[in-house]
A and B are shown apart, each in its own frame.
Chain A
């Protein structure tokens, strides 16, 4: 993994402040976790909203253990839909179900792979891979498709013109286009007609200091624990430790995109 932000080139004062904040967030989450039953964790911890711009000191990512991802389970997909208000979309009148399934916004899909020689079947969730070198950003004519300093690739809907060039460029079919006027948006997830969108690693949760993503929580609640979320640059994070222990791969690693989403067991 390429990492240009080793501690040596970090400003001297960044370390302590950062670790202080992390420790604080840990405490806050611990307190909230303590008041509810085991396995049920509060998301809306009253952590402070972010007041300073994100930096490259962190890079958010996911590690997915395909061996734990269950056939027929769609807990992560449903959780993503609820978190981002995608469950509030309605099939346009007169459209066929097939057309709608093809065109509605989807940020995360279950994919089933079969090795035709051995017959081995693998299930995995597929979302934006949060490439370090994202083709969707390269091709965008307006700069709307961009990578945040903390590694999250997303669309600035204020400047997106809906050309859909990025949808063609993405090797993972990760992006969706909103065709119709929207009425039922959530406050934390603005979305509307004429813009492209994709998984943003629950960016609102990041900015309000919450611990994980909707899909990670749902997978754990369904008893599978197939997805780990965390900071790829923090040697102490759960995701880094697991990456160091288990063999993992990038999908289409031949494209050298250095994805932030990694898969083990494929």
Chain B
């Protein structure tokens, strides 16, 4: 009887602890969306926030195969979309690479001790002609009204 009570007590303490850490984590995680990025002004990402926190890597991985092998570029789960929406600019309006340790991707992956190598190959700031096309679907899904404009070839060169 006493044993059972102790066990129940321990379970309760354990549960409470899990809950507390969750809340602390959630509070922590909130800080990763940075002031000054487009994302900061939005209610949620291209999926509900808890889905994005747990599953963004799966969404991106699925999308990469569809894009590389099938040529599909209209998905809201595009890495280009993540970058353009979560990036912030410095005082001179120069975008700060998103994988740097104080930026959106870099800071959270540092906290979670995950080695982030997307940006060994992918652009860590929106760059070059057509970059805005690559993130258009993500912006639409997140409800950002942003019109695409054609620009003459060579403007960036």
Contacts and interface: CB of A to CB of B under 8 A. Distances in A.
Interface of A: 32, 36, 40-46, 48-54, 82, 85, 146, 148, 150, 154, 156-158, 181-182, 184-195, 203-204, 206-208, 217
A182 B120 CA distance: 7
B131 interface: yes
B145 to A, nearest CB: 15
| Chain B interface mostly | loop
Given A32-B150, A208-B130, 14 more contacts: A42-B150, A44-B129, A44-B133, A46-B133, A50-B72, A50-B73, A85-B128, A156-B69, A157-B121, A185-B127, A187-B123, A187-B130, A188-B130, A188-B134
B48 interface: no
A40 B152 contact: yes
Contacts of A46: 133, 148-150
A82 B153 CA distance: 11
A193 B120 contact: yes
Contacts of B69: 53, 146, 148, 156
Interface string B120-152: 111110111111011111000000000011111
Interface in B61-78: 64-74
B45 interface: no
B157 interface: yes
Given A186-B127, A186-B128, A188-B134, A42 B71 contact: no
B39 interface: no
A5 B104 CA distance: 47
B80 interface: yes
Nearest to A188: B130
A42 B153 contact: yes
Contacts of A192: 120-122
Nearest to A217: B153
